[in-house]
A and B are shown apart, each in its own frame.
Chain A
Amino acid sequence: MLSAPLNIHWELTNRCNLRCIHCYQQDDERDAVMPSASLLSIIAHRIADASVFELTLTGGEIMMVKQLPWLLDFFNERGIEPHVTSNGTLVSERRADELAARRLTFQVSIDSADPSVHDGVRQKRGALARAVRGIERLVERGVSVSVAYTCMPQNADSVPGVLELAERIGVHKVCVGEVLPYFGGRSQRTQMTRSTEATTNAHNRLLALVDAYAGRIDLKLAFQGVETDDPVPKRQSCTALDRDLAILHDGSAYPCPFVRKAAYRLGSVVDTPIRELWSCAAAERFRREKTELHVFHCRLEAEPTDSSAGSLLPMLQPANVRSTSVISSAERSLAQDFDASSASS
């Protein structure tokens, strides 16, 4: 085990100007807050003290955090060049100037080059146009921008269009990820287990695109296959508490941004140095469950339901969705234990 994380994912706020259907923070919405400057300062110092190498600054929508330039300066002065992830809709001329004056990489989520699909997923008309304009402003100023494409049944055929769009606006890196087995808020959660055939076909199409765009766009795949030349798609290794740590907007530390059950809260970085949280008893328990019981903790976050994405937005009908239980009996038992312990605490 390492002495501290290599990478920290820090959600500076859980407030957002969009309501994306696949957002894993929907259940936080009622408590959405903007961070105080003092809280940001404390957390930033904790991160610097932990000597992490990579830092992902995100939200909610991070461009709503007015202290972002100060934070970027703070980390730049300590040799850290943060990765900033955003929906791209709030990158004005002024904010683009602020970002261009710092050392960072900037990632914008694009679900499709088709506005009806992207705006549908984002539940905001005009979201794609604004995100594209935001990217263009950053590219014009020399900021290193990548596009994140989250593959879901609703946009499974959109990758070629996203690549064409990226190339047209001067983005040379596209990162393809996928939604978790469950996504969205509890009230409208959708199960997303695809058939092996569909997964393999999608994976093969992506591999072909890697070759087709070689030298023009660096297409990074987090989509099933661990390596881009891997002929057999397979689940990625979980890196929670091996290399990565999540810090939420209030300073709470969790093993992963997708594991937000109170029982897995490691503590607060406001009170405790990150290295101590990294090796605390709760962290050790999480690692044992992951390695010895082979628990996929992110699956414990969701109650399995038969709801379909069609109930979210009529225009976004899922394809290749198979409604099967992906929760093992061991995981189900753990989930019940944690629900009980959370209720009693």
Chain B
Amino acid sequence: MHAAGSTSLNEHKLCRALRSRAEPGGRTIVYNRAREQYLFANEQALQLIDELRAGGTLSEQCRVVAERNRVPELVAATSIVRTLLALAGQIVASESPDDTGNLPAVWTLAGELGPALERCETFGMPL
């Protein structure tokens, strides 16, 4: 991942705006309408989205993720922040699942399905 922007992030607002759909193989597509962006998300990322959507705080989620994965809170926090920034379109998500074990992770559709699939267009025409 690399930095692609520096605007502020409101994680609750972001998570409420996301839409998702389960796909075969345990993957879920997450769609950010405002950013015109599609991503795959793993189960822990979806749980994170659900918790934040329900009003959970980032500090709570850092503890939950750290305990669940038996990693230091700093590692959990890094994973969460990277996931949220990617969902917000502020960093470019990786092209394949990160080597983060079972930590929250999102990745692009492009690596698996080609770059054309993750653009918000209709049959090639931007909207």
Contact = CB atoms under 8 A, between A and B. Distances in A.
A6 B19 contact: no
B123 A242 contact: no
A107 B126 CA distance: 10
B114 A53 contact: no
Contacts, number: 80
Given A239-B117, A242-B116, A6 B123 contact: no
Contact of B21 (A51, A148, A246): A51
A185 interface: no
A240 interface: yes
A181 to B, nearest CB: 13
Contacts of A242: 113-114, 116-117
A256 interface: yes
Interface in B1-35: 19, 21-24, 29, 31, 33
B6 to A, nearest CB: 17
A258 B122 CA distance: 12
Contacts of A244: 122-123
Interface residues of B, number: 22
A2 interface: yes
Contacts of B19: 53, 79
B67 interface: no
A81 interface: yes
Contact of B113 (A2, A79, A226): A2
B124 interface: yes
A81 B24 CA distance: 25
Give the dominant DSSP class at B's interface. mixed
Given A4-B21, A53-B31, A237-B115, A148 B125 contact: yes
A177 interface: yes
Interface in A118-155: 146, 148
A332 to B, nearest CB: 23
Contacts of A2: 23, 29, 113
A25 B116 CA distance: 25
Interface in B79-107: none
B29 A56 contact: no
Contacts of A240: 123
A23 interface: no
Interface in B46-82: none
A263 B21 CA distance: 31
Given A7-B121, A53-B19, A53-B31, A226 B126 contact: no
B116 A243 contact: yes
15 contacts: A2-B29, A3-B22, A9-B123, A53-B33, A53-B38, A56-B122, A148-B125, A175-B125, A177-B125, A220-B126, A221-B126, A222-B125, A238-B124, A242-B114, A256-B123
Given A2-B29, A6-B29, A258-B123, 20 more contacts: A3-B22, A4-B21, A53-B21, A53-B29, A53-B38, A83-B127, A85-B127, A105-B127, A107-B127, A175-B127, A177-B125, A220-B126, A222-B126, A226-B115, A238-B116, A239-B124, A240-B123, A242-B114, A242-B116, A242-B117
Interface of B: 19, 21-24, 29, 31, 33, 38, 113-117, 120-127
